Homo-oligomer: A and B are copies of this chain.
Amino acid sequence: MMTQHRLTSRDQAQARDGQDCLAPMRAHFALPDDITYLDGNSLGPLPHAVRARMTRTVNAEWGQGLIRSWNDAGWIDLPERVGARIARLIGAPAQAVFAADSTSVNLFKLLSAALALRPERRVIVSERGNFPTDLYMAQGLITQLDRGHRLVLVDDASAIPAALCDDTALLMLTHVDYRSGAMHDMAALTHQAHRVGALTLWDLAHSAGAVPLDLAGADVDFAVGCGYKYLNGGPGAPAFFHVAERHADAFVQPLAGWFGHEAPFAFEPQYRPAPGAARYLCGTPPVLAMAALDAALELWEDVDLDALRAKSLALTDAFIATIEGACPDRVLELITPRDPARRGSQVSFRHPQAYAVMQALIARGVIGDFRAPDILRFGFTPLYTRFVDVFDAAKTLRAVLETRAHERPEFQIRAKVT
């Protein structure tokens, strides 16, 4: 099945781009001509609309409008408005989603809620390979509460159902694994968690804007996600949280800042939570960053998410097939599922010298990610990635491996961030 998707020439790749209904979206992004960018799952590229929005927000709204822009430019409503844009992409009601803080901080709020809503239970189930900050935030909360909670980590996704029991308060998973790109069955696992009376918290960092999601249909309780990957909101963009409406008024989360108060500008000494998920807001929203994310999200308004998914799978299929056709000596070990139903929007290979290989690729203008200890990660962000990018990246990777370019000493030294 894979071989039919192998790209054997750049012309063939261009022909496929010519048939891509999403191809016009690429023009909305500032992508340098001299690089093949396969790292939009670490940092999405700059949408041109963000330039104009930042100019307006900085010069007109801040510079001229000054404090009046909290009302006149609608700064005050940005967490809600940006949240509503994200809600559409993740299949959730608008009022259940807000943009705020970082993913880590939002995890703490929702973890606190989940444990409070299951007061007799003591276990959070997750994966040892979950993104570290998710595990760290759970560890931080458990230590702080000091009530005997435990984080139970499974080594393999197949072990999750058996790990759920009547002491499980929460199943906390990242929907698409940041290393392998393996995707969980959100609806099935949520159902299994609910069957034992547990709640669910899904991290959508590698899902929102990458694959169609249906949080409402899957009956998800809580979710967090990232603004700077597939949503292209800029480096360190605000994150988002989702709280199912049935839980929204059931708990007062501990990061009880004034923007989650029912009447922030009444300046009352006693906290009164806002109704609904708005109580999960905390401090003053970062307007410049929110404005950038808001402008980036405007691009999604007319995007067909099923077409997006089809293109994502076509790109990742093509990359796997082209790499495997080009590098038959199996020095690269595919760790991304071949089954499309279990694959996110990235392709990852193990290589014993993965760091050096990625450095050699970057030196040749192909930007992917290294993930310790031995993973090459390539993000195929279907809003702007082309089949020619697949072809060029595969060709460059083959050239690096054939010439052993990665063995040059300058590619062996690790930078601070990789």
Chain A residues within CB distance 8 Å of chain B: 30, 32, 35, 37, 39, 42-43, 45-46, 50-51, 54, 58-59, 61-64, 66-71, 75-76, 101-105, 108, 112, 128-133, 135-137, 139-141, 143-145, 153, 228, 234-239, 252-259, 261, 264-271, 282-290, 292, 362, 367, 369, 371-372, 415-418
Contact = CB atoms under 8 A, between A and B. Distances in A.
Given A45-B66, A70-B417, A102-B283, A267 B140 contact: no
B257 A104 contact: yes
Given A37-B66, A105-B282, A236-B289, 17 more contacts: A45-B62, A51-B58, A58-B234, A66-B367, A68-B367, A71-B415, A102-B286, A133-B258, A135-B269, A135-B270, A136-B258, A136-B271, A140-B271, A141-B254, A235-B284, A239-B283, A267-B372
Q: Which 10 A-B pairs have the closest CB atoms?
A: A102-B283, A104-B257, A140-B256, A104-B283, A235-B287, A133-B258, A144-B254, A46-B63, A236-B286, A136-B271
A288 B287 contact: no
Nearest to A100: B102
A254 B143 contact: yes
Contact of A101 (B43, B76, B101, B362): B101
A55 to B, nearest CB: 8
A105 B101 contact: yes
A104 B63 contact: no
30 contacts: A30-B59, A30-B64, A42-B67, A43-B70, A45-B62, A46-B58, A46-B62, A51-B58, A62-B234, A62-B235, A68-B362, A69-B235, A71-B415, A71-B417, A75-B235, A101-B283, A104-B284, A105-B105, A130-B269, A132-B258, A132-B268, A132-B269, A133-B258, A136-B256, A137-B256, A137-B257, A144-B254, A236-B285, A267-B371, A289-B289
